[in-house]
Structure 1
């Protein structure tokens, strides 16, 4: 009979619980091997003749248990591949009580980006969701929290920095080795343990309320650490104040890792980052990069409370960690840099989640997770962005003060422990006296979201709701408690009115008097729903765009485009609305407009019609760019610089304007010759992309050489992406050949793959190569779950029905087991894209001919 552990969905019993790990690991960096020895203090809660630990690719050499003064040696040590466990069996039952488990083991570094792996010159760990078991035999589930007292033996090389969760308490040289011991941690789940060893240099130590903070990088990137350090120094006191609790983990080390799967990882006291999410030079970095680094730093520090101090019981509440940190990060950065208007960036993430959540193949924010592998699929837009948007919507409904008091209650009640979603809702409900459990669980436990339709006659408004699908004709009967905030203008000015829309149809009488000039049914676009206005209401909004907040103008555009995708509006109506935005001055609105128009240009029109569409875009937005010019003024604000950058993206990248291309060529040439004033930083990405698209072999060689030696990760990424953009066929092929070389790091393979599939002239040949070498393409991810998801998602860049059928055949014949959700979502979205092209392409052509 098979042991109960012979099941991928096996969960550890609560019979034996760890209290404290005391472990030493010895690393051989050249051979990429390690040995370990540890004692686990544990409590046996019921007599048992076995102890089950997680261990993956580890060889246990000596094992013994001591309880009540008696030593017990296992009669068998049985690894179980299905559950990644090892079963220690004993001749007689172990008695209840406190004892200790001693284990020695050996293992090898992982070849991918999980467990303990070599990232260039740096040995680093990445354990979430379930890869601590690749370095330690341990109880590798989040509910098994324990203290960790770690030490590390490494070669006695003075240039090596050795970091872990706790501060260094001892660093001794013993012959050819250094033995570094770290301060014991507070109780932590195994996925939050971390170790980094490499030739790293750090910023000078700075303290926040006695907590030392340092930011680390390779020596050649040390000049790029200051901004990330400042972001941490700004975030930490704001988070302590919000939670009403001091930071718990002694110190904060932030480390840039040269090759890293995720954006960053919130290991307690030792936060690891992909370099591009931490390192930058504020003198040359676009504001988008500065905002992204600030947001990631704040996100990971927010986890030190929400996730590390109070931890989910199991991975089905992963969303609770990630959604909260996503929302919190924007709140913190907005407090630090209000002029950045980061909530508009939050809305961009929310928009992507709305797109995904309109599919039939979406999933609830909180869904069943049977094993750690399935948890890996949950790191997506629904978990992060929809979850964060729902929290923001609930905060808007409860009010900031009540919401924060509920969070503080939750933190106090579950300090150092584990909790589930309902624990949070109950705390928020107690603090606000509102039906939070009902409101939250409707949004968290149910997939999808509503389309709120608005019909208005004077002060009488009828709101109706039904589930929104991007599939034309799809329908189902779900309803939500929708916290609708109406914003409108009458004779006495602008006012707001709140309605909790529970029923399918609700009449509302607008307050005030006089004519209603315009009505927005999603004030500030904080609600996670789409709005469909009747024709007269939409016309009023289009005629009063200047009265709407930027987020509301974005919402009107995005909702109207979503209605086109769903077959509820015609593309001509959307284009007529888009034509009203020629004088738009807000960069975020311009980017939303350009994103929708770019989709039409790349997917719905061909040949002469494509060129005709580009010229229409240039006529619409070109005058704005001409008025601003490319040269920034001496006292110019960020708002103006970002507007210029958005117009360059629209006129130069989308519309392929020849004037913009000529300007970019001249300025890139000057920049490459060393002229630091040639291009304002916010124009760099667009200018290099435009020039590369039309570039020659000499430019390809220049970009390749610059990319290889560039220390700034954002600049390096810019050059790498540009190498996918060359449209001269021979150079497009050269770009493709780089994919299977070390020139493209593992962390970058999905970005590079997507760039190649987006290349107009190289796409078909590359797609044929991808199909032939699919196993090699997938292999380039090293099995990293997030990268596998993105490889699958990149196939959504295909365009025709024949290509859709080829994608279907490829994924049917060679499925990616760790990306089941991504496969379903990508195929569904691509099928809708192809159907939209067939349904609306002629409408774009007819509309264009009427514009002449």
Structure 2
């Protein structure tokens, strides 16, 4: 049997199962080393002479097995199998079926990257998902092997130590503390966690019987209140939604100074990148506050969906993540309805629509053969498309039936593992709708439909085909498309539901009189794009103010997508954009400004670029003039965000000299500590536009402030501003900074993306990046999410020659952990280059027609 372990796709046999782990770890933070001893209580289905555990880079000591009747059997052969990251423990005789206990001792070292047990500045922290518990414990490191964990750790005196369970008792000899943590509920190994360091916590607060604390380094303790409040708001709402009490005893939330992902849902001990947890509400932009609330709620939703009911294997990872993504917005929207977070959800969905229009996309649920492939699944398709499909299904079934189905699923699979079809069956049972057909078509199939719509009288003709962003690609795939049509006629505004199963359908609209306008994706809850015939589009464009903000966003986004794929002209898109000059909704403005920024950055050069900037300033400048830069007393968040979008348009895209002259002294005052100089929502854009044209003194000031800044959002603002300087000498200095410890490992991809976006520095940086590709990759510590983003940063290049160079680089030096990202980035870049070549003359001709 042991030879099977030579395969990297090896899966543990189900005949040996853990029931309880009791590990004791002794950590030496100075030497970055640990020793471990543990008893694993096991259940053997049949007699065996070997037990296989996962382990990476652990030096095994004595191993013995104790049978139920008290016999001791000493392991006489430990075989390490690097290919499958396992150790095969052989015994001189067969171990009997039934219960028994495995005693193991081992030693190991902290991991150098951001996985396993590693040092994040002064804090030792664990990150085990997908499969890195095996770097700290010899264990059954697959999600289906759930067991109880009773952890004991020895750490230097004076440090805080946190784990999944509450601290039950401790012993101290003055130098070391021995901490005994309460035994957990059954958990998969990837949800076990340990954090040790000089941390301070908020006062413990209890909500519906659940104690909650939020932790940070002492110099950041003043930034914990908002994250604490978000958890206190989310927990009761989640308990109410699921109809199930929280299962893990307490909630500790910890800001980790160097962290690969946004956060990790370890049961009862949630770890976060500091920017996703810590902020000062007095100075934090609203986008940062919303992001923290959403991440906190996402991780808490996982305590039910993922931790209480867990996927069997990583091919259902999407179910964990998509559900938590969708649920977080639902709960935050209940807590802060004025934030309109569903519009932020739509922004995430838009990014997934962009990725899913490529040939190199993947289905939401795809085959995952091993833990390394699981690491590639943490992307926009898994999170955002998955979440959008759940929302679309909920919109079709209705909220009450959907929630009842969720509750049935949670009750039936409590403490256990489940697969996607278990959820669909529960939803079908609760709604009496064809959920399996609907869900599996969307989960198992790549891509999404483009629905073409034409209206004649009260008859709507619908056709569907798959949408590809590459011009000219056709396919015959079909989906069951749950559509909600919204339209205005003599009787007012109405909605009508349609399930479009075939490639063509005709729908008679209910009601009377002339149909004034028709939206074929009401409230933008569907995961598809819409192409209207010319007359329907004209009526819609003329009635744009009657549409919901989400529908106006979709109208712009779909027209842009049609222009990208060659199914509409860029001229038609720019004409539509020109109708949004008086737009007052901040979310719609964000969409508009994002598209205009793309045109300015990629589709115009030289004089055309200058003309286009003038057109943008003319289109939106009056809106900023009217608002001014300073908030009026009692001004709403909506107005503040509108101002920020307009400053991005005028200062960021149009590069207005007047806006720069306004921003420069304000940024200087803000850097000197004047909090009234800039309304918080203007800080990111103002600092970035001033840095772009900044001098050496400003560069050095930002470089000096960045490492000592306690607020993570401010620190990130300075980090990105350092990459923005367009003075060639300062751009060069920023590039050299990349290879130093001044840029934390967690920030290398962000910093790299900033450098790739720098117009004067980009070519020199690209030449350097090709030469030092191995060094660039080494800066990520082989963290899969960071590697993916490093590859994606290559998409900032613009010319065909650079596309050829990217292809050559990735062929000669592929990034094995980011295969999907490589093919997606190459495909996207090729389309961007083709669009640029096609668009340059088309946009020039359009600009010449503008007054």
The bucket for the TM-score relative to the shorter chain is: over 0.9
Q: Distance in 2 between matches of 1:48 and 1:686?
A: 64
Q: Which residue of 2 aligns with 1:385?
A: 384
Q: Deviations over 1:638-683 (max 9, x none)?
A: 0100000010011111110111111110211121232211100000
Q: Deviations over 1:160-192 (max 9, x none)?
A: 110000000012103521101100000000000
**Which aligned pairs between 1:157-556 and structure 2 lie closer than 5 A?**
158=158, 160-556=159-555
Q: Which residue of 2 aligns with 1:682?
A: 681
Question: Is it true that 1:88 corresponds to 2:110 in the alignment?
Answer: no
Shift of 1:2: 7.5
Q: Which residue of 1 aligns with 2:11?
A: 11
Between 181-190 and 1-10, report the one with greater CA deviation: 1-10
Does the 8 A contact of 1:625 with 1:644 survive in 2? yes
Q: Distance in 2 between matches of 1:10 and 1:669?
A: 58
Does the 8 A contact of 2:2 with 2:88 survive in 1? no
CA 1:192/1:2 → structure 2, altered by over 3 Å: closer, same or farther? closer
Q: Distance in 1 between matches of 2:468 and 2:110?
A: 45
Q: Distance in 2 between matches of 1:806 and 1:572?
A: 31
Q: Distance in 1 between matches of 2:323 and 2:426?
A: 15
Q: Distance in 2 between matches of 1:490 and 1:500?
A: 22
Shift of 1:49: 1.3
Question: Is it true that 1:602 corresponds to 2:577 in the alignment?
Answer: no
**Which aligned pairs between 1:755-834 and structure 2 lie closer than 5 A?**
755-834=754-833
Tell me the secondary structure at the aligned position of residue 259 of structure 1: coil
Tell me the secondary structure at the aligned position of residue 540 of structure 1: helix
Q: Deviations over 1:52-111 (max 9, x none)?
A: 000000001110011132111122100100000000011222110100000000000000
Does the 8 A contact of 1:142 with 1:191 survive in 2? yes
Unmatched 5+ residue regions in structure 1?
none
The structure 1 segments of at least 4 consecutive aligned residues displaced by more than 3 Å after TM superposition are none
Tell me the secondary structure at the aligned position of residue 186 of structure 1: coil
Does the 8 A contact of 2:212 with 2:252 survive in 1? yes
Q: Distance in 1 between matches of 2:103 and 2:610?
A: 71
Q: Which residue of 1 aligns with 2:648?
A: 649
Q: Deviations over 1:130-184 (max 9, x none)?
A: 000000000000000000000100112x2x1100000000121035211011000
Q: Distance in 1 between matches of 2:749 and 2:839?
A: 30
Q: Distance in 2 between matches of 1:781 and 1:154?
A: 28
Does the 8 A contact of 1:519 with 1:537 survive in 2? yes
Q: Which residue of 2 aligns with 1:52?
A: 52
Shift of 1:491: 1.3
Q: Distance in 2 between matches of 1:232 and 1:135?
A: 29
Q: Which residue of 2 aligns with 1:107?
A: 108
Taking structure 1 as the reference length, what is the TM-score of the superposition? 0.99
Tell me the secondary structure at the aligned position of residue 3 of structure 1: helix
Q: Which residue of 1 aligns with 2:40?
A: 40
Q: Which residue of 2 aligns with 1:78?
A: 79
Q: Deviations over 1:218-250 (max 9, x none)?
A: 000000000000000000000000000000000
Shift of 1:475: 1.4
Does the 8 A contact of 1:472 with 1:565 survive in 2? yes
Does the 8 A contact of 1:139 with 1:190 survive in 2? yes
Q: Deviations over 1:487-533 (max 9, x none)?
A: 00011110001100000000011111111111000000000000000
Q: Deviations over 1:779-825 (max 9, x none)?
A: 00000010010000000111000000000000000000000000000
Q: Which residue of 1 aligns with 2:64?
A: 64
Tell me the secondary structure at the aligned position of residue 91 of structure 1: strand
Tell me the secondary structure at the aligned position of residue 407 of structure 2: helix
Q: Distance in 1 between matches of 2:511 and 2:612?
A: 44
Q: Distance in 2 between matches of 1:30 and 1:73?
A: 34
Q: Distance in 1 between matches of 2:655 and 2:76?
A: 72
Question: Is it true that 1:591 corresponds to 2:558 in the alignment?
Answer: no
Q: Distance in 2 between matches of 1:720 and 1:251?
A: 35
Q: Deviations over 1:548-596 (max 9, x none)?
A: 0000000000000000111101100000000000000001100100111
Q: Distance in 2 between matches of 1:15 and 1:394?
A: 38
Q: Distance in 1 between matches of 2:320 and 2:488?
A: 39
Q: Which residue of 1 aligns with 2:692?
A: 693
Taking structure 2 as the reference length, what is the TM-score of the superposition? 0.99
Q: Which residue of 1 aligns with 2:154?
A: 153
Q: Which residue of 1 aligns with 2:21?
A: 21
Does the 8 A contact of 1:798 with 1:830 survive in 2? yes
Q: Which residue of 2 aligns with 1:719?
A: 718
Q: Which residue of 2 aligns with 1:844?
A: 843
Q: Distance in 2 between matches of 1:385 and 1:404?
A: 20
Q: How many residues align?
A: 850
Q: Distance in 1 between matches of 2:140 and 2:707?
A: 41
Between 834-843 and 290-299, report the one with greater CA deviation: 834-843
Shift of 1:443: 0.2
Q: Distance in 2 between matches of 1:496 and 1:842?
A: 42
Q: Which residue of 2 aligns with 1:703?
A: 702
Does the 8 A contact of 2:17 with 2:43 survive in 1? yes
Does the 8 A contact of 1:389 with 1:527 survive in 2? yes
Does the 8 A contact of 1:570 with 1:840 survive in 2? no
Q: Deviations over 1:445-466 (max 9, x none)?
A: 1010000000111111100001
Tell me the secondary structure at the aligned position of residue 472 of structure 2: coil
Q: Distance in 2 between matches of 1:601 and 1:29?
A: 50
Q: Deviations over 1:532-559 (max 9, x none)?
A: 0000011011100100000000000000
CA 1:193/1:2 → structure 2, altered by over 3 Å: closer, same or farther? closer
Tell me the secondary structure at the aligned position of residue 183 of structure 2: coil
Does the 8 A contact of 1:46 with 1:96 survive in 2? yes
Does the 8 A contact of 1:452 with 1:530 survive in 2? yes
Q: Deviations over 1:412-466 (max 9, x none)?
A: 0000000000000000000001110110000001010000000111111100001
Q: Distance in 2 between matches of 1:574 and 1:773?
A: 40
Q: Distance in 1 between matches of 2:675 and 2:148?
A: 51
Q: Deviations over 1:690-724 (max 9, x none)?
A: 00000000000111111111000000000000000
- The CA RMSD measured in Å over matched residues stands at 0.7
